[in-house]
Amino acid sequence: MAQYTGVMSTYQPRTVEGRDVRQVDDKIAYIDPTVAPLITILNRIKGKREACYSVKPEWLEKDYVARWAIATAAVTAVASSTTVAVDDGTKFVAGDVFAVAPPIGTFARHEVIRVVSVSANNLTVVRNVGGSHLAAIPLSGDLRIIGKMMEEFSTFPDQKRAVASPKFTYLQIDRTGTAFSNTAEALKVYGNSGKSDRDQAHIEDMIHHKEKMNATLIWGRVSEDATGGPTGYPIRSTMGLIDTIRTNVLDAGGMLTFKRFQEWCRMLSRYGARNKVLIASDLICDAVDGWGHSKLQLKPGDSTLGLNISTVVCGGITLSMVRDKMLENGTSGLYGWGNIGICLDLDNIWYLYLNNNGVNRDTHVVMDAVKDGKDGKRDEICTEYGYKIKLEKTHGILTGVTDYQL
């Protein structure tokens, strides 16, 4: 038996004998507990979760009849020039009246023109209605459709109506699995508040699972392959915001100015609700926070919906701004999405999950999912879900931001 003489220090119980009792927190600290703000918002707002009985949810969308057309050939400012070629003749019917738009930044008396008949993409017109002002129509000039001029006792007018467009998304399957031997489950360990590592794994996996669903809403793209899975079964993916939003996309071109941000907000105010949600990178949030001291009507963040949300009023709309750490650049610092903000009209976005015939495929933990006689447990978190993003013109993307100007 070993002996020791002299002064007793921590060396003996810690290093020689191993008798010191370790002090270990009963919880494991996670670096990013606020992941997936988009999923948090959709889960907490009433009416944003929708049960589905099909893996291909469908809907119809319809815009208003066209207000603008484009001239595809120049027309001189002469009353006898009565043929106007346009980008799409279906935007017009006999009796329509349109105005020739002046160049931006100038003011001039516009010419008013009446459509007599339509043949394909060519309009036969009467120029200078009301002696307004003859104007040259440039190539690619904009024409604002005003309304109709109909004569007394006229025949029934030609119909003009927007056609409904069919839209769809798919539900995709996401599974997050974990496996433990029965010995590992029975083991007492530090850091799990009295739980087994198996129980702790479910908590960690749920966070990871939610993060994947948030990332899918940002970067997903609709697809289906009936035999394309690894073993020949159907495989599907759902729609995402960046792939879906095409209209209100503004490239800041590097330096984001307050004026440029206002321009984007005005675009966003054109369609949909006046209250929207802005999910943005740190850079864009920092810019808005900076402008809040002098330029913006900014309400500091509160804990609405369990998130730190700041309210911004700009360009005729109110934005509830949330930082999303997923919108970041890659490890090289050269590529990524740390320069974007995504604006959502929550009236036109839903979280979908498969639920029919008594089978609910919303997010759930399947305990002991595989029973194969092995001395252990295999559990999984499973969701069959998707996103329905309607009326993409009501949403928007701000991109190309590398810095901002206060």
Which of 383, 403, 401, 406 has the alpha carbon at shortest distance from 278?
Answer: 401
E runs forming strands in 120-222: 122-126, 142-148, 165-168, 172-181
In the three-class reduction of DSSP (H, G, I as helix; E, B as strand; rest coil), residue 41 is classed as helix
Least reliable range by pLDDT among 102-111, 127-136, 305-314: 305-314
Cα of 122 vs its chain's centroid, Å:
39
Cβ–Cβ < 8 Å for 101, 71: no
pLDDT band at 330; cut points 50, 70, 90: very high
pLDDT digits (tens, 9 = 90+) for 334-375: 899 999 999 999 999 999 999 999 999 999 999 998 988 899
Q: In the prediction, which pLDDT does 282 show?
A: 94
Beta bridge partners of 343: 278, 396
Averaged pLDDT for residues 280-306: 75
E runs forming strands in 182-336: 223-225, 235-237, 249-256, 275-280, 297-302, 309-314, 317-323
Q: In the prediction, which pLDDT does 26 show?
A: 53
Q: In the prediction, which pLDDT does 33 show?
A: 44
Q: In the prediction, which pLDDT does 192 show?
A: 67
Averaged pLDDT for residues 176-181: 91
**Which long-range contacts link 71-74 to residues 24+ away (Cβ below 8 Å)?**
71/137, 71/138, 71/139, 71/140, 71/141, 71/142, 71/143, 72/121, 72/139, 72/140, 73/139, 74/136, 74/137, 74/138, 74/139, 74/141
pLDDT band at 29; cut points 50, 70, 90: very low
Q: In the prediction, which pLDDT does 361 show?
A: 95
Q: Is the pLDDT confidence value at 22 over 60?
A: no
Question: Residue 328: is it exposed, middle or buried by C-beta count within 10 angstroms (0-12/13-18/19+)?
Answer: middle
Cβ–Cβ < 8 Å for 340, 296: no
d(CA 169, CA 244): 11
Q: How far is CA 268 from CA 245, 272, 317, 396, in A?
A: 12, 8, 8, 6
Q: In the prediction, which pLDDT does 11 show?
A: 66
Cα of 171 vs its chain's centroid, Å:
17
Averaged pLDDT for residues 92-104: 94
pLDDT digits (tens, 9 = 90+) for 56-74: 999 999 888 889 999 999 9
Q: In the prediction, which pLDDT does 63 show?
A: 85
Q: In the prediction, which pLDDT does 13 show?
A: 63
pLDDT band at 76; cut points 50, 70, 90: very high
Which of 285, 257, 251 has the alpha carbon at shortest distance from 405?
Answer: 257
Averaged pLDDT for residues 28-41: 65
Q: What is the DSSP string of 300-343?
A: EEE-GGGS-EEEEEETTEEEEEEE-TTS-B-TTSSSBSTT-EEE
- Amino acid letter, 28: I
In the three-class reduction of DSSP (H, G, I as helix; E, B as strand; rest coil), residue 71 is classed as strand
pLDDT above 70: percentage of residues in the chain: 87
Q: How far is CA 2 from CA 12, 16, 20, 21, 336, in A?
A: 11, 10, 18, 22, 61
Cβ–Cβ < 8 Å for 34, 202: no
Averaged pLDDT for residues 296-317: 72
- Amino acid letter, 204: E
d(CA 273, CA 316): 11
Q: In the prediction, which pLDDT does 199 show?
A: 82
pLDDT digits (tens, 9 = 90+) for 223-265: 999 999 999 999 999 999 999 999 999 999 999 999 999 999 9
Averaged pLDDT for residues 274-286: 94
pLDDT band at 310; cut points 50, 70, 90: confident
pLDDT band at 14; cut points 50, 70, 90: low
Q: In the prediction, which pLDDT does 23 show?
A: 53
pLDDT band at 27; cut points 50, 70, 90: low
The CB density around residue 241, as the number of other CB atoms within 10 Å, is 23
Q: In the prediction, which pLDDT does 21 show?
A: 61
Cβ–Cβ < 8 Å for 337, 243: no
Averaged pLDDT for residues 192-211: 83
Q: Is the pLDDT confidence value at 102 over 50?
A: yes
d(CA 184, CA 197): 7
**Average pLDDT value over all residues in the chain:** 88
